[in-house]
């Protein structure tokens, strides 16, 4: 049955090709011209070649579209993976921030508009005080103005307390904050104090600031990070 159908299809194609050829030659199907089977076969071959060329072109265009689509999907996948990785890092950072905040919350107290920790038991040098404040999730206190100076040190026992102020290396008389790297915004010195090679750090005694040897051991005041 399949063979008959194939043969019938072949006849139809041959007849169609012959009609096309006859019209091209201005010969009607009932014309008395002699039918040339070789010419009909040549026409079939031409049509087959055109069909194969069309299929090849269509396949090439399809492959190109598929390749572009795959490349676009890969780029989108990489972008999504990058965004997901960033989101995971942010989530981990948020968890760490919450943990640190819970730990330091009982330590720091709100004084004025910010949070501070005042060490009243252990005396250390300026460098050790700097490290201890960082370990608690903060840094040495950077006093902003008279109001803050008075609010912090009017409530503590009369003693020396390290703060975040050190001499700018190579520039005597200029003190800066280790947190911001900028020149100190506020200072309330006691009398006339002279600079020397040892007095490179600053402490607060009473309500005044003093230039002191960084290796001396004093109490200290820490300040919480801005996000606290």
Predicted local confidence at residue 105, as pLDDT: 55
- Per-residue pLDDT, averaged over 97-101, amounts to 56
Q: How confident is the model at residue 205 (pLDDT cuts 50, 70, 90)?
A: very high
Where does the pLDDT of residue 24 fall: very low under 50, low under 70, confident under 90, or very high at 90 and above? very low
> Is the confidence at residue 120, as pLDDT, over 80?
yes
- pLDDT at position 126 over 50: yes
pLDDT at 50 over 80: no
| Pair 163, 149: CB distance under 8 Å | no
| Residue 19 clears pLDDT 90, i.e. is over it | no
Q: Are 162 and 219 in contact (CB under 8 A)?
A: yes
| pTM higher than 0.75 | no
Determine whether 110 is exposed, middle or buried from the number of CB atoms within 10 Å of its CB (0-12, 13-18, 19+).
exposed
Task: Band the pLDDT of 21: cuts 50, 70, 90.
Answer: very low
Of the CA atoms within 13 Å of residue 44, those in its CB half-sphere come to 15
What is the phi/psi pair of residue 132, to 5°? Answer: -65, -40
27 has a pLDDT exceeding 50: no
């Amino acid at each position: 049955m399949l063979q008959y159908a194939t043969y019938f299809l072949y006849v139809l194609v041959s007849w169609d090709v012959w009609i096309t050829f006859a019209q091209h030659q201005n010969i009607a199907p009932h014309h008395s011209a002699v039918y040339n089977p070789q010419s009909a076969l040549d026409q079939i071959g031409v049509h087959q070649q055109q069909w194969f060329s069309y299929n090849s072109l269509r396949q090439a265009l399809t492959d190109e579209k598929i390749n572009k689509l795959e490349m676009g999907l890969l780029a989108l996948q990489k972008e999504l993976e990058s965004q997901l990785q960033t989101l995971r890092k942010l989530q981990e950072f948020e968890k760490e921030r919450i943990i640190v905040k819970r730990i330091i919350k009982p330590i720091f107290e709100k004084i004025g508009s910010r949070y501070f920790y005042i060490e009243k038991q252990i005396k250390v040098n300026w460098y050790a005080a700097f490290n201890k404040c960082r370990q608690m999730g903060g840094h040495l206190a950077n006093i902003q103005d008279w109001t803050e100076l008075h609010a912090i040190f009017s409530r503590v026992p009369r003693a020396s307390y390290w703060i975040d102020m050190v001499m700018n290396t190579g520039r005597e008389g200029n003190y800066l904050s280790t947190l911001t790297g900028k020149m100190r915004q506020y200072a309330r010195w006691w009398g006339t104090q002279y600079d020397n090679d040892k007095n490179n750090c600053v402490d607060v005694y009473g309500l005044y600031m003093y230039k002191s040897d960084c290796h001396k051991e004093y109490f200290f005041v820490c300040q919480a990070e801005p996000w606290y």
